[in-house]
Structure 1
Amino acid sequence: MKDFITALDPNYQLDKYHIKNNVAVFYISSKMSEVKCPYCGTLSSKVHSSYEREIQDLPMQNRKVILLVKTRKMFCSNCKCEKKTFSECHPFVENNGKKTRRLVQNILFTSAQLSSVNAAKILKSNSIEVGKSSICSLLKKMPSIVDKSSVKKVCVDDFALRKRFSYGTVMVDLESHKIINLIPTRNTNEVKEWLSKYPNIEVISRDGAQLYANAAERSHPGIT
């Protein structure tokens, strides 16, 4: 168990753990006595308070893994710093992230090979909880260069940005099964303009929504 945490970051230690309902929960904390202020770079050892961050990590032995990371709130030692206090940053996760970097890499590797729906199903079977919309959000952050003239067969589908309130549209290459692009809307005119940027599309697979049928016909008249 300790090796699992050491592989995450050698400066962190396992304080305790428990397994319940096929979920492994690890309580971990930093071994560093000083924490760097993210605003001015000054090291500080003055603790204001602490709290726990819940972060999902790579599964272990077919069990979902949750890290409860002790996070210190520190006083900044630099009197000229714009912030009097700051929260400890953990190098293995984004500042506001809920998944470790290594888990995100695993999700992206799987999702880049499949549609977001199928990727979510496969990841769930491997004890990784992530939804279709979350996968799309992660993929959108990936740097990607697509030759628009080479895209010929696509699938257009919607995904929830905020369930029951707002939706976006995703385009998947039917030949490579990779996500090409996403936009934060399913408005007919905006989808039409978006599709028009791919001049050599020959096939647009879509659901029964009339808005996608209209956008496809207006951007590429006569295609199947």
Structure 2
Amino acid sequence: MDADDEAVRIEARSEITDVVCSACGSVGTRVHSTYWRRLADRPLGGRRVVLSLHVRRFFCDNTACCRRTFVEQIDLLTRRHARRTQTVGRMLQAIGLAMGARAGARLAPRLGLRTTRAAILRQLRLLPDPPIGTIRVLGVDEFAFRKGRTYGTVLVDVETGRPVDLLPDRAADSLAAWLTEHPGVEIVCRDRNSAFSEATKRAAPNAIQVADRWHLLHSLARAVERTAHAHRPRLRKSISYHPLPPPAAGGLASQDLRYLPLTCTPTLQRDRHEMWATAVFKERHHRMGWPERGSRR
């Protein structure tokens, strides 16, 4: 054991007698080689802890096993290809679940842990998926792995707002298979994709299909826009333009703006801006006591 102001270094050796192959479960008896493995452990007194573990590599005598050699693992301490102990891994998972990867990577050095946001994300991917359970109201929508090329399907529990699963594509067969494996869906909230409708009718025929609010408003806005564009010549003719009266001597009156149309063409909008700018210019000159343009002293 060695310690300085920055880190504590500990050397240890495994004394396990029966080392089991993680692939086939057979016990290894012949040692292939040994090497030193460096692991980061949880900090001690504000200093980093580096664990140097002397481990053995064994031959796997099972001819049917896919591995020829394997390295001994210590329960509750090491894991294959890991550079930190399982305790540190659980700490990073807790930080990532509470704060996210970016904020967790900024907090970890304050706690004596060296990590990156990519490492926190890798630790989060090791966590098992939470149980889905029975979903009564299911939200179905598509998302893009790569926009314009590859799309998938996201499934959301509408009542809790929690994503429950991701499907690799947006085909009807994938959604139908998922609905068959998870019965109990009473309402399916989806967009206007025909594949989702077909899958729901096939796997959950008793479920009520409704359109979600966003797609309803989006479709309504597009319909109104197309209708207004088709009748644009009539809308232009129906606009009546009333010129502004001359501004009062005391300045621009706010009630004069009532003569301006609410909806106007680009030409009327430009005239409106010019009249407003002229009125403001005259009001500023009146307040400063400057003479009007073209007047003589």
TM-score, structure 1 normalization? 0.55
Q: Does the residue aligned with 1:54 lie in a helix, a strand or coil?
A: strand
Spell out the pairing of 1:50-61 with structure 2 (5 A cutoff): 50-61=34-45
Q: Retained in 1: the 8 A contact 2:138–2:155?
A: no
What displacement does 1:20 show? 4.1
| Ranges in structure 2 where 5+ consecutive residues have no aligned partner | 160-213, 222-297
Query: Which residue matches 1:29?
Result: 13
Query: Which residue matches 1:130?
Result: 115
Deviations 1:89-139 (A, max 9, x none): 232222111221111111111221113222112211111011112212222
Query: Which residue matches 2:30?
Result: 46
Query: Which residue matches 1:204?
Result: none
Q: CA RMSD in A?
A: 4.0
Distance 2:53 2:81 in 1: 13
1:94 aligns with 2:79: yes
Q: Does the residue aligned with 1:68 lie in a helix, a strand or coil?
A: strand
| Ranges in structure 1 where 5+ consecutive residues have no aligned partner | 1-16, 152-182, 201-217
1:139 aligns with 2:93: no
Alignment partner of 2:105 out of 116, 120, 127: 120
Change (3 A) 1:85 1:117: closer
Shift >6 Å, 4+ stretches:
190-200, 218-222
% same residue = 17
Deviations 1:173-223 (A, max 9, x none): xxxxxxxxxx996x44589967896989xxxxxxxxxxxxxxxxx99969x
Query: Which residue matches 1:156?
Result: none
Distance 1:193 1:80 in 2: 39
Bigger fraction of residues in strand: 1
Distance 1:25 1:66 in 2: 5
What displacement does 1:34 show? 3.2
Task: Tell me how many residue pairs correspond in the alignment.
Answer: 159
1:62 aligns with 2:49: no
With a CA cutoff of 8 Å and minimum separation of 6, indicate the structure with the bigger relative contact order: 1
Spell out the pairing of 1:175-214 with structure 2 (5 A cutoff): 187-189=146-148
Query: Which residue matches 1:207?
Result: none
Distance 2:147 2:61 in 1: 54
Letter in 1 for 2:69: T
